[in-house]
Structure 1
Amino acid sequence: MKVLIMAGGYATRLWPITKGKPKPLLPVGNKYIIDYILEKTKDLGLEVYVSTNKFFERHFKEWAGKNGVELIVEETLSEEEKLGTIGAISYAISKLGLDDYLIIAGDNLFSFSLDEFLRRYKGNPLIAVYDVGDFELAKRYGVVVLEGDRVVDFQEKPLQPKSTLISTGVYALPKDIIEMIEGYLEEGNRDSPGYFIEWLLGKGVEVYAYKFDDYWYDIGSADSYLEAMKTLLKESHIEEIQISPYSKIIPPVVIKRGAKILGRSIVGPYAYIGENCIIENSDVSDSIIFGDTIVRGSTIWRSIIDEKCEIRNLELKKSLVGGHAKIQRGD
């Protein structure tokens, strides 16, 4: 078996934050999203590969080198050109060869052990499922109906979900199912894992589910990104910074090298402050601020601010600010 982490999407729902950086390399606490996934593969003793695209290849190269992971790079440079997830899996298989595969969406943060998941794998397709507990929320995902641990129905983004159990983007697929992918695509089917599972059920393939509790985050929105940070950031990570004696840090926070916390500022809880940021006479909580951004005389709450921005005299709540923006009110 091989492990294939899918990290080739362009994350349009999080634009402008992800317009120039891949979602799996967004920080959650002091690690990237993909680091949490990679850590869960360490005890499996399996080869790990990451599928991405030409546009984001340079972003992943240094990370892959440090972590001993091989990249599989599809030749696409934009959202319009990209292969879908199943197409990207097919491309990766053409490079890596037929095998059983553990396939993981690179923007998934989940609580369960992959080792435990694979102990439940008996040679039939196995998917990880989570109860979101809300029928309206379930409409956004692939909805699963079970009899015991066997999947008897699968609806991709249904208007009227039959349950609140959803597929989370973790799949163990045997070699004979991997061989069926090319035929699935040749038939002109939709290039999405959910529709592929639906298609398999229609072919009479037995698909099984591994149900887990605790937490699961699909980092597809600012809210889910910030909630993931609140769940996973357990302790503070503060590098070499400058801090005024009149400022206060409320843990847990991550404050990266070169940041300056000046004047009467309050940073935290649940704040990420990137390298060389300046926070002056401002309050920042439940927020992520990327590097080289200046915040003066402002209150930032449940917001994400990209790199090299300048925010002055503002109250930002539940906001998403793209890179290089300059926003101020008054003097």
Structure 2
Amino acid sequence: MKVLIMAGGYATRLWPITKDKPKALLPVGEKTILDYIMEKVGELGFETHISTNRFFEAHFRPYAEKYGVGLIVEDTLHEEEKLGTVGAMKKAVNELGLDDYLVVAGDNLFSFSPSDFLRAYDGRTLIAVYDVGDLELAKRYGVVVLEGDKVLSFQEKPAQPQSTLISTGVYVFPRGVMELIGEYSSNGNGDSPGYFLQWLLERGEEIKAYRFSDYWYDIGSADSYLEALKTLLGESHIEEIQISPYSKIIPPVVVKRGAKILGRSIVGPFVYIGEDCVIENSDVSDSIIFKDTIIRNSTIWRSIIDEKCEIRNLELKKSLVGGHAKIQRGD
């Protein structure tokens, strides 16, 4: 069996944060999304490859070397050119050969152990499913209907979901199914794995489901990103920083090297502060602040602020601010 981490998307729903940085490498506490995935699949000891694009290739090279895994690079530089998940799977088979493949979406944070997941594998396609508990929310995903652990139907982003159980972007495709990708692709079918699963069911292929219930996050929106931080940020991690005696840190937080917390500031809980940020006379909670950003006389809540921004005299709630922005209200 081979492991394929899918990180070839351009994450347009999180722009401008992901315009120049891949979503899989966004920090969630001390580690990136990819770190969490690699630590889990690394326990399996299987040959592993990260699938990405030419635009983000340089970002992933150090991670491939760090974890001793391969890199498969599709020759695309823009969203409209990308191969999509199924196209990237086809490219992987062409380069690596037929095998059983554990395929994991690179923006996926999940609670289960891949070893437990693979114990449910019996040679039939296996998908990990999670109950989002809300029909409206289920419309965003691939919805499954089960009988026991057998998948009876699969609907990709349905207008009227038949259940709240959704596919989470972790799959095992057996060799025989991987062999069908060429036939599937030649018919002009969609590149979402959900449509591929629908096609397999229509052909009479059996698909099994592995249910889990602790946590799952598809980092496709600011809300899901911040919720993942709240779940996974267990203990504080504070590097060499400067902090005023009148400031307060409320754990858990991550504050990276070179940050300055000045004046009467309150940082936390559930906050990530990047390298060399300046927080002065400001309150920051439930937020992610990337490196080299300055925040003065402001209140930041449930927001994501990209690197090298300057925020002054503002109250920001549920905001997404792109890199190098300068936003202020009059002094």
Please list, as runs of the form range in 1=range in 2, the aligned pairs for 1:51-70 lying within 5 A after superposition: 51-70=51-70
Q: State the Cα deviation string for residues 32-58 of structure 1 (Å, max 9, x = none).
A: 001111111122121111000000001
Distance 1:249 1:241 in 2: 12
Q: State the Cα deviation string for residues 259-290 of structure 1 (Å, max 9, x = none).
A: 00000100000000000000000000000000
Distance 1:196 1:244 in 2: 56
1:109 aligns with 2:106: no
Q: What does residue 322 of structure 2 align with?
A: 322
* SS class of match (1:279): strand
Q: What does residue 214 of structure 1 align with?
A: 214
Q: What does residue 167 of structure 2 align with?
A: 167
Q: What does residue 4 of structure 2 align with?
A: 4
Distance 2:57 2:217 in 1: 24
* SS class of match (1:9): coil
* SS class of match (1:44): coil
Please list, as runs of the form range in 1=range in 2, the aligned pairs for 1:186-225 lying within 5 A after superposition: 186-225=186-225
Specify the code of the residue in structure 2 equivalent to 1:199: W
Distance 1:53 1:156 in 2: 24
Distance 1:223 1:91 in 2: 33
* SS class of match (1:80): helix
Distance 1:291 1:43 in 2: 32
Distance 1:199 1:286 in 2: 41
Q: What does residue 42 of structure 1 align with?
A: 42
Specify the code of the residue in structure 2 equivalent to 1:212: F
Shift of 1:31: 0.1
1:18 aligns with 2:18: yes
Q: What does residue 248 of structure 2 align with?
A: 248
Please list, as runs of the form range in 1=range in 2, the aligned pairs for 1:277-316 lying within 5 A after superposition: 277-316=277-316
Q: What TM-score, normalized to structure 1?
A: 0.99
Distance 1:157 1:268 in 2: 36
Distance 1:302 1:96 in 2: 42
Distance 2:84 2:5 in 1: 14
* SS class of match (2:199): helix
* SS class of match (2:162): coil
Distance 2:125 2:171 in 1: 7
Distance 2:42 2:163 in 1: 33
Q: What TM-score, normalized to structure 2?
A: 0.99
Q: State the Cα deviation string for residues 207-232 of structure 1 (Å, max 9, x = none).
A: 00001001100000000000000000
Distance 2:108 2:66 in 1: 21
Distance 2:54 2:92 in 1: 14
Specify the code of the residue in structure 2 equivalent to 1:239: E
Q: Which moved more, 1:300-309 or 1:37-46?
A: 37-46
% identity of equivalent residues: 77
Two-structure CA RMSD over aligned residues (Å): 0.6
Q: What does residue 142 of structure 2 align with?
A: 142
Shift of 1:188: 0.8
Q: State the Cα deviation string for residues 216-253 of structure 1 (Å, max 9, x = none).
A: 00000000000000000000111111111111000000
Distance 1:262 1:63 in 2: 34
* SS class of match (1:90): helix
Q: What does residue 124 of structure 1 align with?
A: 124
Q: State the Cα deviation string for residues 43-83 of structure 1 (Å, max 9, x = none).
A: 21211110000000011111221121211110000101111
Distance 1:15 1:72 in 2: 24
Unmatched segments (≥5 aa) in structure 1: none
1:156 aligns with 2:149: no
How many residue pairs are counted as aligned between the two chains?
331
Specify the code of the residue in structure 1 equivalent to 2:212: F
Q: What does residue 31 of structure 1 align with?
A: 31
Q: Which moved more, 1:42-51 or 1:9-18?
A: 42-51
